[in-house]
Amino acid sequence: MQVHVHLHGILRDLIPPEAKGRATLSLSDGATVGDLLDQLGIKRRVVVALNDDHEPDRTHILRDGDRVSIYTIIGGG
């Protein structure tokens, strides 16, 4: 299956710069949010938004065509 990923902030540095943080990734059926984070090499704490709204945990099973936005955590500033 394929999921559309939008990586925000410094997370965009995980993929080629010309992609500006956007990529479509292939995952095996049954892959979870945690599998996606592992595939992207994300070890830091992040906030994940699925299809713009839902905030799934790492065990949530993704579906073909899902849109996943991933954000870094920060407080003030």
Least distance to other proteins from the beta carbon of 65, Å?
20
Instruction: Provide, rounded to whole angstroms, the least separation between the CB of residue 38 and other proteins.
Output: 16
Q: Match 């599998």 to its residue by tokens.
A: 35
Note the residues at the interface with other proteins (CB under 8 A). 8-13, 20-21, 43-45, 47, 49, 53, 69, 71-77
Distance CA 32, CA 63 (A): 9
Question: What are the structure tokens assigned to 30, written together?
Answer: 């049954």
Q: What is the chain's Cα-based Rg? A: 12
CB of 31 vs other proteins, minimal distance in Å: 22
